[in-house]
Amino acid sequence: MTTTVANAELAVPTGYWTRERKAGAAMVALGLIASIWFTAASPSDPATFFVGETTQSGTQFGINGKLGSLIFGLIALAAGGTLLLLGKRFGLLVSISLAAFLLSALVWQVSTVHGSVPLGSLSSITMEASLPLIFGALAGVLCERSGVVNVAIEGQLLTGAFFAALFGSIAGTFWAGLGAAAIGGALISVILAWLAIRFLVDQVVIGIVL
């Protein structure tokens, strides 16, 4: 007797709380914090911003501290609420909500100290500080996807930083430090690959040790 079993595709219910809606709930919480806490803590003094490298150059514009914190907080709240209800447009709505939350916090802080912020200088400093993290994250993604380096990414970054500081200081040039950093990170990959392939050591163990 032959029994034929039909392989039908079964729809697996994901439930209401998908990744998008969980993120939307988190964005709603951030929006509430910005709308209530930041607004209540902000004075009515204006927060002044300059579109330029210094406060002496560029176009100047200001916004009331309470009003600015409230507006940006409501934008963050609206974007998070939309993501929570619809469960779509994850990247766009999360980006809008996070940007509005940060702007609300920025207006709050600037108006509190009665100061002014040159946006050009702020953007330049942000790029300088974030580029190493961005490059490190991209290098980590490539290493992880290659299947050779999995959890030793932090070791690569630390070794690269050590080699860059050491050999860059000895040679007195930026390029020597940059090249030494690449060699140091690659050295960790070589050690991990050698131990994993030659001795079949678990990558998690090697990664933690390195």
Q: Are residues 139 and 112 in the same domain?
A: no
pLDDT at residue 7 is higher than 50: no
**Beta strands 59-64 and 116-118, pairing class:** unpaired
Same domain? For 138 and 204 the reply is: yes
Evaluate the CA torsion angle 165, 170, 173, 175 in order and state its sign.
Answer: negative
Q: Tell me, yes or no, whether 2 lies in a domain.
A: no
Identity of residue 72: F
Residue 95's φ and ψ, nearest 5 degrees, are -65, -45
Same domain assignment for residues 98 and 162: no
- Determine the number of helices (DSSP H) and then strands (DSSP E) in the chain: 8, 3
Task: Tell me how crowded residue 59 is: count the other CB atoms within 10 A of its CB.
Answer: 9
- Residue 72 in tokens: 């940006």
pLDDT bracket for residue 148 (50, 70, 90): low
What confidence tier does 134 reach under pLDDT thresholds 50, 70, 90?
confident
- Number of domains, the chain: 2
Reply yes or no on whether the pLDDT at 8 is more than 50.
Answer: no
